[in-house]
Structure 1
Amino acid sequence: MARCDVCGNDYDKAFTIEGPRGRGTFDSFECAIHALAPACSHCGCRIVGHGAEHDGRYYCCAHCARESGVQGLDDRA
């Protein structure tokens, strides 16, 4: 069995994810998101979907980007 890097659970169905934000072994997608998903630069929530990026900063939505002074991003066309 493998131990989750976030919660420490020793689980027979643990999995490993490797990507540009790091690598880890997890017992659930919840733990993987907590460890690897970027956080919104405005509200701090974890970005699970596409989100938006501007000048190297990540936002969960166009609203948060606008609240941070970014112009020209829309949630829909």
Structure 2
Amino acid sequence: MAVCATCGNDYWLAFEIKTITGDSYTFDSFECAMEKLAPRCEYCEVRIVGHGVEVSGKFFCCANCARRDGGLGEQIRDAVGTHPGVTPGRAK
């Protein structure tokens, strides 16, 4: 069995998540994984479980919070999909 990194539950159906930085965590539920790994909105502090919005390296749960945080409307872009300097491909 494996112990959850968030709640400490020892669960036989636990699963492992490896992050982009190479860190590895074991969880007993998606709820615990989100609590440990999902970023918080810079404005309202809600957990960002969807794709959210990124502005100048800061993450927000929605465009509204991003605008309220600093009026950076022109810089708002979706965190999923294209990134600066990357040409988007078509899904097959």
Coarse TM-score class (shorter-chain normalised): 0.7 to 0.9
What RMSD in Å do the two structures reach over aligned CA positions?
A: 1.7
Correspondence list, 1:1-77, <5 A:
1-20=1-20, 22-69=23-70, 70-72=72-74, 73=76
Gaps of 5+ in 2: 79-92
Equivalent pairs, count:
75
Runs of 4+ in 1 over 2 A off after TM superposition: 20-23, 72-75
**TM-score (ref. length: structure 2):** 0.74
Q: Identity of counterpart residues, as a percentage?
A: 53
Gaps of 5+ in 1: none
**TM-score (ref. length: structure 1):** 0.88
